[in-house]
Structure 1
């Protein structure tokens, strides 16, 4: 009996000493920030608890908050608790160490308050409290102040302090909302009332090498927004670090679908998202085309990734009368559908059809000059960088061609706004 008690006391003393020697700190993917848009986008995008290939991570692979532990031993039981009542329920990650680790990250799956995050408009400080237990013994509790960014701020590249650059351009797709009631209750009925098309049928009207049906449907959407005075309006990001800095976050301000519709103002990302949302609803494959400084739209002519047309969405509301004579002649000479003459004659005032042709030609030219740089939906997203090569890698990875369908099927969710 005394031997059993002595053994129990010895094990308890070992556990206490181990916990006392433990060294850890709060870790955050976005450098002491939380982005609601990212949380929303990845909520079903591979968020199960996993161990990485290097064996130095356990938890939510898309998590934003966790802990960095300096040393752990095989067989130790670890539990991490994170609390921040304003944005989440108490979130816990518990696991057993399978191997010794001198540098380990543990990221619980955060139980966000989704109704709160989708309406979080302004950046705001929030206090979080983190507790770490080893072998059922509390090591310590630590508090930290973080910034919760607004829902309109979309992170598209992050570099961690460990020198890992991550391409997050796909998060833009969380603003694409093909199920928004404005589309079904207002926009689609408005498009049909305009009479450009008699029905919405996606690719049903496509025959071999004849894509009239698709072009007509896309033009119907373009005409609707031009007729209703939607215009390009530049709105720059207001959160940017220096690209060569480590850590670093690059974020772009993006209006939600309902905000774009209400204000009738759209920057390059907004306008692309607006069009992508409606085309996706109509059964036409839509793509976001991103570069280090721009975004425009692509759409599939036959439902495949191999046959795309491109459109420069910043030309919404523009007038071809402002173009030189050579460009105007090029537009007039372009044959797109069997209804070209009819569409031009039925355009009132500035021709929405000629404007549409110009947007297609401009989109194609934009893509053509950078065609060899674009990376598809399944491209690599994680890269090791240094301060010396971070800027060049940033330029390289931001050429993306992102399929809405691909990411919807992978689990990326739209923001409900």
Structure 2
């Protein structure tokens, strides 16, 4: 190496090192600022209108984010997964309008640098559209993101908006942990339904009781009020119909089909869940505190016999349709020459058998219910529940 070439070589090495340094800085900045994002959700690509409507005015967080580091409102279950660049990165999330929600814009600050975040943007739901969802519908969720004022493009994910009649029973999160969401059955108990007064009027017309007083007169009068409702529903000739499954096919979420209050009365059909939430709605309306008892494949209704909740009883509502009261004599047509049971006699017989059957099932499953075994629930429709879960409404 000659003395004349030495400065040139040194300059070349320095220039190369500078170029490497500049390229490294550029790459580092580019990788930080041009990170990508993806649309994620907690319920396997499903949106449950019943869940969204029931927690709309509550601070309830039923769906728990799998990631501990998250921002925003997780009620919707729709989120984006993104990695922050520099500290205090600014993120702007725009969700396009669909038949089920309006366009919305949400902004967040990602305080930690180079950190994975799950962000739940605000969603402006069209609540009436959710109520009218009577069968599953696909919806394209389109989201655009800006990170530190630089556009990161658009992502689209097709999701399924489930029927309003589908109740979310539970789901398995990304860490394979099961979350029981049977509390959503309380959304189908609607003590404010406008048809409540019609059924209560029919119950009063039976003359079993002349008024509904809740727990003002405890003991036998509480049971007489419950039986009056039972008798009125039997006179409507409700029949058992085992329609409980849905088209949902998922290894992540579990659901149960439930008829709304008006659907039961219009179709005159019930399964165990339909009958239980219908009866619970009527009991709650007259200030008798109902209980939903759930176990795998079945549900029945209970109620407290006193205001202090020291005693309770249970009913198997599917037995409402075991007889047709029209096959028996109305009370006003009975005379001493007629042979056979009256409508009220046979109704009372079935009512007592219903209690006997339901109480036996409760005792058989009491241990699983009290230990909160998977898909076992004793759900009291109390004031505390109503702070978290509201009725879906008509």
2:203 aligned partner: 191
Deviations 1:107-151 (A, max 9, x none): 123211001110111211111111122223222211121111111
Distance 1:12 1:216, change over 3 A: farther
Alignment of 1:18-417 (within 5 A): 18-20=32-34, 22-46=35-59, 55-71=68-84, 73-100=86-113, 102-184=115-197, 186-206=198-218, 211-241=219-249, 245=251, 248-319=252-323, 347-348=342-343, 351-375=346-370, 396-417=373-394
Offset at residue 231 of structure 1 (A)? 2.0
Structure 2 length-normalised TM: 0.82
Offset at residue 79 of structure 1 (A)? 2.4
RMSD, matched Cα: 2.8
Distance 1:31 1:196, change over 3 A: same
Deviations 1:14-42 (A, max 9, x none): 8765231x132101122112111111112
Structure 2 CA distance for aligned equivalents of residues 375 and 252 of structure 1? 22
SS in 1 for 2:348: helix
Offset at residue 347 of structure 1 (A)? 4.2
Q: Are the counterparts in 2 of residues 19 and 139 from structure 1 also a CA contact under 8 Å?
A: no
Structure 1 length-normalised TM: 0.78
Q: Are the counterparts in 1 of residues 32 and 84 from structure 2 also a CA contact under 8 Å?
A: no
Offset at residue 397 of structure 1 (A)? 2.5
Structure 2 CA distance for aligned equivalents of residues 56 and 359 of structure 1? 50
Distance 1:52 1:87, change over 3 A: closer
Which of 1 and 2 has greater Rg?
A: 2
Structure 1 CA distance for aligned equivalents of residues 131 and 315 of structure 2? 30
Offset at residue 178 of structure 1 (A)? 0.8
Aligned residues: 354
Deviations 1:266-305 (A, max 9, x none): 0111000110100000000011111121111011111344
Structure 1 CA distance for aligned equivalents of residues 31 and 115 of structure 2? 17
Q: Are the counterparts in 1 of residues 32 and 85 from structure 2 also a CA contact under 8 Å?
A: no
Distance 1:398 1:304, change over 3 A: farther
Structure 2 CA distance for aligned equivalents of residues 282 and 411 of structure 1? 21
Structure 2 CA distance for aligned equivalents of residues 363 and 43 of structure 1? 34
Q: Are the counterparts in 2 of residues 71 and 101 from structure 1 also a CA contact under 8 Å?
A: yes
SS in 1 for 2:302: strand
Distance 1:14 1:305, change over 3 A: farther
Structure 2 CA distance for aligned equivalents of residues 12 and 86 of structure 1? 43
Q: Are the counterparts in 2 of residues 81 and 132 from structure 1 also a CA contact under 8 Å?
A: yes
Structure 2 CA distance for aligned equivalents of residues 131 and 180 of structure 1? 40
Structure 2 CA distance for aligned equivalents of residues 281 and 346 of structure 1? 31
Deviations 1:24-83 (A, max 9, x none): 2101122112111111112123259xx989741112132221112245553112222222
Structure 2 CA distance for aligned equivalents of residues 297 and 28 of structure 1? 34
Structure 1 CA distance for aligned equivalents of residues 192 and 153 of structure 2? 46
Structure 2 CA distance for aligned equivalents of residues 375 and 106 of structure 1? 36
Structure 1 CA distance for aligned equivalents of residues 370 and 97 of structure 2? 38
Deviations 1:173-203 (A, max 9, x none): 111111111112x111111111010110000
* Unaligned runs of at least 5 residues, structure 1: 1-10, 321-344, 380-395
Structure 2 CA distance for aligned equivalents of residues 72 and 175 of structure 1? 45
Deviations 1:185-228 (A, max 9, x none): x111111111010110000001xxxx101111110110111122
Distance 1:365 1:131, change over 3 A: same
* Unaligned runs of at least 5 residues, structure 2: 1-24, 325-339
Structure 1 CA distance for aligned equivalents of residues 223 and 288 of structure 2? 10
